[in-house]
Amino acid sequence: MLVGEVVRYANDVSNGPEAEPPLANQLRLAVVRLNRRLRAQRTDQTVTLTQLAAMASLRKCGPLTPGELAAKERVQPPSMSRVIAALEERGLVSRRPHPSDRRQAIVSVTDEGVAYLDAEAAARERWLDRRLAELTEDERALLSRCVELIDRIAGH
């Protein structure tokens, strides 16, 4: 990066309240606000977001040990044990003995858990579909292109 570009970027970042924030700031805030609105569309708040994330990982990855699930979700194993116990009590996940290590268990999302995940996703998508319908065809086309770019930024 050239010195002039660094100075120009620094000036863009610190031009005061009337200056438009840099793109990274705008994008981060927009994504955070959209995520917050989507989370607000949940149909059942009694299942925590941590529990929901654990079920989604089990659905995506298949059956896992509690330790593997804790590592995927980046939580401590004792915390994941509590998450699993709460989900198991509701019938959203099940445990079975590990086939080769009797000290371990294998946790799977149940059919009821899959239906729960589908209902939660459908509620969010219905809200988003209503909001997208408010946009013009050109705006939806532009947003479609933005989705590709955001996915690329996210590394997908």
Q: What is the pLDDT of residues 29-84, one digit of tens each?
A: 999 999 999 999 988 889 999 999 999 999 999 999 999 999 999 999 999 999 99
Q: How far apart are CA 146 and CA 140, in angstroms?
A: 10
Of 31, 38, 72, residue with least CA distance to 53: 72
pLDDT band at 107 (very low <50, low <70, confident <90, very high): very high
| Token pair belonging to 46 | 């009694």
Would the pTM count as exceeding 0.85? no
Kindly list the distances between the CA atom of residue 138 and the CA atoms of 142, 144, 145, 146, in Å, as whole numbers in the listed order: 6, 10, 11, 12
| Token pair belonging to 150 | 């955001």
Query: Is it the case that residue 2 has pLDDT exceeding 60?
Result: no
Q: How far apart are CA 128 and CA 109, in angstroms?
A: 26
Q: What is the model's pLDDT at position 1? A: 46
Beta bridge partners of 106: 96
Of 108, 73, 83, 78, residue with least CA distance to 93: 108
**DSSP 8-class letter at 100:** S
Specify the range with the lowest mean pLDDT, choosing from 9-13, 49-53, 145-149.
Answer: 9-13
Q: What is the model's pLDDT at position 9? A: 52
Q: How many residues does the chain have?
A: 156
Fold classified for 43-156: Arc Repressor Mutant, subunit A (1.10.10)
